[in-house]
C-alpha cells in the first residue's frame, strides 16, 4: 500500500541470514587459503629437509636464518601487538547481526549529523555504498579488520610488518573519513572526552608509526616526538574543555538544562550494559550533575598537566604524565565513553584505548630506547660442504658446486610459518577488500533488500488475466496483443505522491539493466485511481518520471469499470480514502511470459530509501531475466 | 617618510569613505525605494476562508501538524442557511502539500488545486458545481504556487499561478486548454514590472469581464497588483504606505471590485492595507492595520461582497482577529478567538465563525455580536488516514 512502506528492521532475518551465510562462505575461503598455505609450508619444509640432507647439513637447519633485523624494539612490539588486537577486536564487533542494516542509519549518518555539508556529502558516499550493499559491506569490514589485525600480529619483520602498518593506516583513513566523519572535528560540540578527534585517527597514527623503518625506533627521538604531539593534543583538549559557552562547566542544576558532560553521562547511563559499569556511570553522572564546575576544573587541570608532562625531558615527569594519561583515558573510557561498544552498534572501543596505547608506546620508546641499528643481523647457516657429484646447481656462493639453494632454505620453521601466515592474513584482507571495492563500483543495490522488504516472489505458471485498455497515446492495447514479449506489469496511481513514482523509476531502471533484452520486454503500468485516470494524467505522470521517451513503456487506462475488472483479476485493491489521503492501493508487480502466463508475482513496495528502490530494480530485472530465459 | 605614510593613509581613508557612501546610496538618483530580497514580507499562509452568496468555505490543516506527511488539508463548506459545516475535501489525491480553493462569485462553482507534495511535481485540480458535493478531476501544466490565491475561476474560465520560475500565470478558456499568459521574468521586464521590481508572483484573480489580475511581491515600494489589459500589464493601485518591499497577500474578485490585501511593512513589522480596484479606474485604499512586531499571519479570509478577515498571532499577545468590511473600509478588531483557532470565516449572513482545529476534530465557534463571546456550534471528526502518505 502506498504510504505504508516496508521499513526494514535492523535485525531483519533475511538480511541477517544472508550476512551469516556470506561470513560462513568467506570463512570457508579463509580455511581453504590456510589449508593451501599449510600444504605449501610442508612442501617447503620437506624441500628444506631434503636439500639439507643432500647437502649434509641436516643439523644446521634448525638454527637457520630468521627474517628481521635483530630484536624488535619494545615500543614497536607493544604498539604492533596492541594495534593488532584492537583491529581484530573491531573486526569481531562488526560481526553483530544488526551491522548490515544498522551501520548506515545508526552509525555513519549520525556521525556526520553535526558536521558541515561537505563532510556530510562525503559520508553520504559511504552511506550510499553501505546501504546498497549492506551484506557485502558488513562482511567485507569484518575480514578487512581481522586481516589487518592478523597481519600486524603475524607479519615477519621488517618489510611485511611495515606493510601491515601501511594497511592499518590506509583502512584507518577510510574509517576515519567515511565512518567517523573525521571524528567530528569539523562538527559542532566536538569534545575530546566524547571521542574527538576519532578512534580511527589514533589507529592511523599507530599504523603510520609501524610503517616507519625500524631504524627510526632506535634512540628516544621517535618516542619523544610522539609524546610531544600527544602533549599538544592533550593541551588542546584542555583548552577546548575550558572554553566558555560549550556547556562544559555546567552540571545539571535543578530546573536548568544539563551541561554537555552531564548530558553525555546521562545518555550513557541509559544504554544497556553490565550492572557494575552502569552503577559506576550513574554514580559519576550524579556527582557531575551536582558538581559540574568542579569536575570540569579537575578535567581541564588534568588534561593540561598531562599535556605539559609529555613535553618534559625528565623521565620521572614523563612517567608521571604517562601514568596520568592512562588513568585519565581509562576513567573517560569507562565513565563517559561507556567503553565504546555498549548500547547501539558499537564498532570499536572508541578513542581512549588506542590513545592510551600510543601514550604508553611513546613512553616505552623513550625509556627503553634501543641502540641504533647498524646493520641487519643475519644468522646464516654454515655453508654446506661441497658434496661430490651432488649436481650442477649453485650453492649460496658463486662458483661452488652443489644443490641450488633457495631463499627459504635458510629460514627457520618459525620464520617460514610466520611468512605464510602473513600471506594468509593478506588473503583475509583481500577477501574483504575485493568485494568492498566491487560494491563501491556498483551503483545498483543488492536484490536482498527487496527480498527482505517484500519477501520472495511467488513463482506460478497460470494464464494471466486478459485486459483491453488504451495506452498513453490513446491506442488500444490488450494483453493478447503483447503475446510474444515478456511483460513486466504493475499498477500505478498517476497522482500518487510517494510509492508510485518510485516504482515507476524502478521499472525504468530495470529496463536499463536488461540491456539488449529490453527489446523483448514490455514495461506496463495500469492506472489504479478511479478518479484521476484520464490520458492527461498518464501523460503528466510519464513526463514527470521521464518515461515519455521509453520505447517499451505503456501506461494503460480505461473506463472505471474496465479498470476495476483488471484490478479484481490481478488482486489489486484500490480504495478512495476521504479527508485528503491518496487512493489506497496495492503495490504489486507481475512478470508475464511470452505465452501470456503469469510466472512471478512480486510485492513492489519500494520501502523507505533509494537503496531499497535500486534493490527492487535489480530484483525485478532478475525476475524478468529468469522468465525470459526459462 | 612619516608624512608620506600619512598621505597614503588619508587617501585610503577617503577612498574607503567614498566606497561606503556609494554602497549606502549616498549619491543615488531619485526612484522607488528599494530593499533587498531578504526584506520581502513573508509569504501568506495557505489556511484561508472565503464567503460567497451561496456558501462559506474553509481550508485548514489538520492531523499531526508537526509532521508534514501527517498534515492533511481539509475543505469544509457551510451553505448559506445551513447551521453546520460539511467536510468536502476533494478525494483521490494526497493533499499534504496544501490545498487551495477558489469559489466563483456566483453559481456555486469551486475550483480546488492540490499543491505538489513529495514526488508529485504537478498539481491535479478538482472542480465542483455543487458546493463540493461532487468533484471532477482536472490538471494544470505544472505545480501550483504555494499561495491561497493560486487558482481563480468564473466557472467557465480559470487562471492558475504555477510555481516555476518564481511564478507563471496560465489561463484556460471554456475548452480547458491551458496557455501561459505571463511569468515573473516577463512581467518584470514590462514598464510596470520594473516599477514594482517583481520578486515573485503571489496571487491571481479574474475580474467579472475576464480581466486577469496578478498579485506580486515588489522589491520597490509599490502595490504589486497588475491588470492584464489589451496585451499589456499595468499597475492599478497606488503605493500602500509603509517603508519597504511589499507583497500582495490576497487577491480576489469581490463582484463589484477586485480586492487586494497587501502587506506593506513599516519598521519591519507587518502592516496590512486593503485595496479595492473598481470599474473606471476607481481605487480605494484602506487605513493601515499595523500588527505588533514579529506577528505572523495564521489565516486570511474574504467576505461576501468584499472585505477581509485576518487571523494573526503575536508573541506574548495571543491570537487576534481583525475584519475589514470591504471597499477598502476601516479595520475592526473582534474579541480574541478561542484557543486553537485555525481560521475565521466572515459569513454567510453576517455571522463570524472561528474554526478550531485539534488533530482530527474541527469545531465551529460563532461570535455573538451582542455579548462579544464565542459559542461552540458543533464539532466534526475528520477520518484522517494517518501514515497514508509516509
Whether A426 is covered by a domain: the verdict is no
| pLDDT (mean) for A60-78 | 66
**Burial state string for A143-167 with b = 16 or more CB within 10 A and e = fewer than 16:** bbbbbbbbbbbbbbbbebbbbbbeb
Q: Which of A480-494, A612-626, B306-320 has the lowest mean pLDDT?
A: A612-626
Contact between A567 and A479 (Cβ < 8 Å): no
Query: What does the pLDDT look like over A400-422, one tens digit per residue?
Result: 455 566 666 666 777 777 788 88
User: Residue A252: pLDDT band by 50, 70, 90 thresholds?
Assistant: low
B91·A531 Cβ contact <8 A: yes
Lowest mean pLDDT among A320-324, A397-401, B28-32, B336-340: B28-32
Task: Give the global pTM.
Answer: 0.69
Q: Which residue has the higher pLDDT, A413 or A224?
A: A224
- DSSP bridge pairs for B253: B258
Residue A23 lies in a domain: yes
Parallel, antiparallel, or unpaired: how do β-strands B55-63 and B361-368 relate?
Answer: unpaired
> A452 vs chain B: nearest CA distance in angstroms?
19
Domain boundary, last residue among A308, A343, A367: A367
Locate the chain A residue with the closest alpha carbon to B381.
A579
Q: Which residue of A has its CA nearest to B385?
A: A581
Residues of chain A with C-beta less than 8 angstroms from the C-beta of B384: 579-581
**pLDDT of B135-170, one tens digit each?**
999 999 999 999 999 999 888 889 999 999 889 999
By C-alpha distance, the chain A residue nearest B86 is A579
Contact status, residue A379 vs residue A63, Cβ threshold 8 Å: yes
Give the pLDDT score at B184: 95
Q: Of A367, A386, A420, which residue constitutes the final position of a domain?
A: A367
**CATH no. for residue A538?**
3.40.30.10
Q: How much is the pLDDT for B331?
A: 94
Residue A218 per-residue DSSP state: B
Q: CA–CA separation, A528 vs A495, rounded Å?
A: 10
Q: What is the spatial distance between Cα A201 and Cα A355, in angstroms, rounded to a whole number?
A: 9
Q: Is the pLDDT of residue A485 over 90?
A: yes
Mean pLDDT of the region A497-510: 90
A452 and A332, same structural domain? no
Reply yes or no on whether the pLDDT at B2 is more than 90: no
Q: Measured between beta carbons, which residues in chain B are less than 8 angstroms from residue A532?
A: 92-93, 124, 137
Domain of residue A310, residue span: 13-367
Nearest-angstrom CA–CA distance, A169 and A27: 25
DSSP A370: B
Residue A392 reports pLDDT greater than 50 = no
**pLDDT number for residue A149:** 94
- Do A452 and A355 reside in the same domain of the chain? no
Mean pLDDT of the residues in chain A: 83
Dist. CA B109–CA B162, nearest whole Å? 21
Which of B138, B139, B176 is most worth mutating to test chain A (most A CB atoms within 10 A of its CB)?
A: B139
Give the separation between CA B132 and CA A477, rounded to whole angstroms: 35
In a domain, A119, yes or no: yes
Both A452 and A329 in one domain: the answer is no
Domains of chain B from N-terminus onward: 41-381 (2.130.10.10)
Chain B, 323-352: which have a CB under 8 Å from a chain A CB? none
- What part of B 4-63 touches A (C-beta under 8 Å)? 62
Least confident window among A430-444, B80-94, B334-348:
A430-444
Judge whether A414 lies within some domain: no
Cis-peptide, bond into residue A158, ω within 30° of zero = yes
According to the model, what pLDDT value does residue A291 have?
A: 81
Per-residue pLDDT averaged across A171-177, rounded? 92
Is A45 in the same domain as A194? yes
pLDDT of residue B138: 93
Q: Which residues of A have a CB under 8 Å from any CB of B?
A: 2-5, 495-498, 500-502, 529-532, 534, 536-537, 540, 544, 576-584
Question: Are A359 and A453 contained in the same domain?
Answer: no
Q: Which are the contacts of A285, defined by CB distance < 8 A and separation ≥ 6?
A: A262, A265, A266, A268, A269
A581 closest CB neighbour out of B118, B139, B385: B385
Question: Does the beta-carbon distance from B388 to A496 stay under 8 Å?
Answer: no
Contact A548, A504 (CB under 8 A): no
Domain membership of residue A392 (yes or no) is no
Q: How close does chain A come to B121, measured CA to CA in Å?
A: 7
A354 and A453 belong to one structural domain: no
More confident residue, A82 or A266: A82
Which of the two residues, B105 and A76, has the higher pLDDT score? A76
Decide if A423 is inside a domain.
Answer: no
Residues of A whose CB is below 8 A from B387 = 3-4
Q: Between residues A313 and A255, which one has the greater pLDDT?
A: A313
B90/A509: higher pLDDT: B90
Domain count along chain A: 2
Edge-first strand listing for the sheet containing B352-358 = B341-346, B352-358, B361-368, B373-381
Q: Is residue A409 part of a domain?
A: no
CA distance B380 to chain A (A): 12
Question: Which set of grid coordinates corresponds to residue A510?
Answer: 530495470
Indicate the residue among A367, A400, A427 that finishes a domain. A367
pLDDT for A62 equals 46
Examine the domain organization and report whether A192 and A312 are in the same domain: yes
Residue A508 lies in a domain: yes
Amino acid at each position: 500500500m502506498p504510504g505504508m512502506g516496508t521499513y526494514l528492521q535492523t535485525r531483519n532475518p533475511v538480511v541477517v541470514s544472508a550476512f551469516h551465510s556470506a561470513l560462513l562462505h568467506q570463512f570457508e575461503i579463509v580455511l581453504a587459503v590456510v589449508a593451501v598455505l599449510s600444504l605449501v609450508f610442508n612442501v617447503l619444509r620437506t624441500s628444506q629437509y631434503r636439500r639439507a640432507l643432500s647437502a649434509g647439513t641436516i643439523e644446521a637447519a634448525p638454527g637457520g636464518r630468521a627474517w628481521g633485523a635483530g630484536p624488535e624494539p619494545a615500543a614497536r612490539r607493544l604498539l604492533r601487538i596492541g594495534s593488532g588486537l584492537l583491529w581484530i577486536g573491531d573486526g569481531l564487533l562488526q560481526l553483530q547481526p544488526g551491522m548490515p542494516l544498522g551501520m548506515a542509519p545508526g552509525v555513519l549518518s549520525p556521525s556526520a549529523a553535526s558536521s558541515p555539508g561537505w563532510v556530510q556529502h562525503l559520508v553520504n558516499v559511504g552511506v550510499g555504498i553501505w546501504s546498497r550493499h549492506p551484506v557485502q559491506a558488513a562482511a567485507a569490514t569484518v575480514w578487512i579488520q581481522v586481516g589487518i589485525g592478523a597481519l600486524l600480529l603475524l607479519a615477519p619483520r621488517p618489510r611485511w610488518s611495515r606493510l601491515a602498518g601501511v594497511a592499518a593506516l590506509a583502512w584507518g583513513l577510510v574509517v576515519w573519513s567515511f565512518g567517523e566523519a573525521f571524528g567530528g572535528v569539523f562538527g559542532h560540540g566536538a569534545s575530546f572526552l566524547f571521542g574527538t578527534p576519532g578512534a580511527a585517527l589514533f589507529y592511523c597514527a599507530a599504523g603510520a608509526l609501524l610503517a616507519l623503518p625500524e631504524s627510526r625506533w632506535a634512540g628516544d627521538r621517535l618516542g619523544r616526538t610522539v609524546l610531544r604531539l600527544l602533549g599538544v593534543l592533550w593541551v588542546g583538549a584542555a583548552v577546548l574543555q575550558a572554553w566558555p559557552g560549550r556547556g562544559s562547566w555546567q552540571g545539571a542544576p535543578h530546573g536548568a538544562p544539563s551541561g554537555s558532560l552531564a548530558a553525555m553521562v546521562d545518555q550513557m547511563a541509559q544504554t544497556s550494559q553490565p550492572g557494575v559499569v552502569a552503577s559506576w556511570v550513574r554514580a559519576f553522572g550524579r556527582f557531575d550533575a551536582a558538581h559540574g564546575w568542579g569536575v570540569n576544573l579537575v578535567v581541564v587541570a588534568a588534561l593540561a598537566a598531562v599535556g605539559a608532562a609529555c613535553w618534559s625531558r625528565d623521565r620521572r615527569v614523563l612517567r608521571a604524565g604517562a601514568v596520568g594519561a592512562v588513568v585519565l583515558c581509562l576513567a573517560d573510557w569507562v565513565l563517559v565513553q561507556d567503553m565504546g561498544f555498549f548500547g547501539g552498534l558499537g564498532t570499536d572501543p572508541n578513542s581512549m584505548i588506542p590513545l592510551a596505547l600510543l601514550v604508553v608506546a611513546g613512553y616505552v620508546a623513550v625509556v627503553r630506547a634501543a641502540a641504533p641499528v647498524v646493520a641487519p643481523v643475519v644468522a646464516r647457516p654454515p655453508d654446506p660442504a661441497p658434496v661430490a657429484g651432488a649436481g650442477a646447481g649453485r650453492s649460496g656462493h658463486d662458483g661452488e658446486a652443489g644443490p641450488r639453494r633457495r631463499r627459504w632454505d635458510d629460514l627457520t620453521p618459525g620464520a617460514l610459518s610466520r611468512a605464510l601466515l602473513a600471506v594468509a592474513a593478506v588473503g583475509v584482507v583481500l577477501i574483504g577488500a575485493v568485494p568492498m571495492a566491487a560494491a563501491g563500483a556498483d551503483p545498483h543495490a543488492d536484490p536482498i533488500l527487496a527480498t527482505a522488504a517484500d519477501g520472495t516472489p511467488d513463482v506460478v505458471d497460470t494464464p494471466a488475466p486478459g485486459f483491453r485498455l488504451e495506452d498513453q497515446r490513446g491506442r488500444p492495447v490488450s494483453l493478447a496483443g503483447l503475446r510474444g514479449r515478456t511483460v513486466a506489469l504493475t499498477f500505478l496511481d498517476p497522482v500518487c505522491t510517494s510509492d508510485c513514482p518510485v516504482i515507476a523509476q524502478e521499472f525504468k531502471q530495470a529496463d536499463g539493466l536488461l540491456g539488449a533484452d529490453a527489446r523483448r520486454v514490455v514495461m506496463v503500468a495500469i492506472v489504479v485511481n478511479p478518479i484521476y485516470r484520464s490520458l492527461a494524467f498518464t501523460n503528466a505522470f510519464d513526463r514527470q518520471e521521464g518515461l515519455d521517451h521509453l520505447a517499451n513503456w505503456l501506461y494503460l487506462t480505461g473506463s472505471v469499470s474496465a479498470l476495476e475488472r483488471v484490478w479484481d483479476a490481478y488482486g489489486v485493491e484500490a480504495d478512495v480514502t476521504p479527508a485528503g489521503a491518496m487512493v489506497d492501493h496495492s503495490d504489486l508487480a507481475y512478470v508475464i511470459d511470452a505465452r501470456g502466463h503469469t510466472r512471478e508475482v512480486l510485492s513492489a513496495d519500494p520501502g523507505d530509501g533509494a537503496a531499497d528502490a535500486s534493490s527492487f530494480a535489480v530484483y525485478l530485472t532478475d525476475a524478468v531475466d529468469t522468465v525470459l530465459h526459462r | 617618510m612619516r608624512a608620506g605614510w600619512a598621505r597614503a593613509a588619508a587617501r585610503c581613508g577617503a577612498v574607503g569613505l567614498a566606497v561606503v557612501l556609494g554602497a549606502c546610496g549616498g549619491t543615488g538618483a531619485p526612484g522607488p525605494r528599494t530593499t533587498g530580497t531578504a526584506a520581502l514580507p513573508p509569504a501568506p499562509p495557505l489556511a484561508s476562508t472565503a464567503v460567497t452568496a451561496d456558501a462559506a468555505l474553509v481550508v485548514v490543516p489538520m492531523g499531526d501538524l508537526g509532521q508534514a506527511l501527517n498534515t492533511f488539508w481539509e475543505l469544509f463548506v457551510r451553505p448559506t442557511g445551513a447551521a453546520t459545516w460539511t467536510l468536502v475535501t476533494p478525494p483521490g489525491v494526497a493533499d499534504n502539500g496544501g490545498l487551495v480553493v477558489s469559489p466563483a462569485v456566483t453559481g456555486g462553482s469551486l475550483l480546488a488545486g492540490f499543491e505538489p507534495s513529495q514526488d508529485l511535481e504537478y498539481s491535479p485540480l478538482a472542480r465542483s458545481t455543487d458546493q463540493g458535493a461532487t468533484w471532477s478531476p482536472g490538471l494544470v501544466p505544472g505545480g501550483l504556487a504555494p499561495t491561497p490565491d493560486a487558482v481563480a475561476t468564473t466557472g467557465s474560465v480559470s487562471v492558475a499561478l504555477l510555481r516555476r520560475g518564481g511564478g507563471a500565470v496560465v489561463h484556460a478558456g471554456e475548452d480547458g486548454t491551458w496557455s501561459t499568459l505571463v511569468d515573473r521574468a516577463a512581467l518584470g521586464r514590462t514598464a510596470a514590472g520594473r516599477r514594482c521590481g517583481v520578486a515573485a508572483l503571489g496571487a491571481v484573480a479574474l475580474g467579472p469581464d475576464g480581466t486577469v489580475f496578478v498579485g506580486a511581491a515588489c522589491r520597490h515600494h509599490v502595490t504589486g497588483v497588475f491588470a492584464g489589459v489589451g496585451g499589456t500589464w499595468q499597475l492599478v493601485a497606488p503605493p500602500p504606505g509603509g517603508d519597504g518591499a511589499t507583497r500582495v497577500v490576497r487577491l480576489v474578485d469581490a463582484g463589484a471590485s477586485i480586492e487586494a490585501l497587501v502587506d506593506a511593512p513599516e519598521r519591519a513589522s507587518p502592516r496590512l492595507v486593503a485595496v479595492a480596484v473598481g470599474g473606471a479606474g476607481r481605487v480605494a485604499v484602506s487605513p493601515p492595520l499595523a500588527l505588533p512586531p514579529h506577528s505572523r499571519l495564521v489565516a486570511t479570509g474574504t467576505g461576501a461582497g468584499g472585505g477581509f478577515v485576518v487571523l494573526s498571532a503575536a508573541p506574548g499577545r495571543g491570537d487576534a482577529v481583525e475584519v475589514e468590511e470591504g471597499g477598502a473600509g476601516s479595520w475592526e478588531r473582534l474579541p480574541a478567538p478561542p484557543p486553537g483557532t485555525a481560521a475565521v470565516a466572515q459569513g454567510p449572513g453576517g455571522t463570524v465563525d472561528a474554526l478550531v482545529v485539534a488533530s482530527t476534530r474541527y469545531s465551529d465557534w460563532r461570535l455573538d455580536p451582542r455579548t462579544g463571546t464565542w459559542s461552540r456550534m458543533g464539532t466534526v471528526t475528520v477520518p484522517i488516514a494517518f501514515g497514508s502518505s509516509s
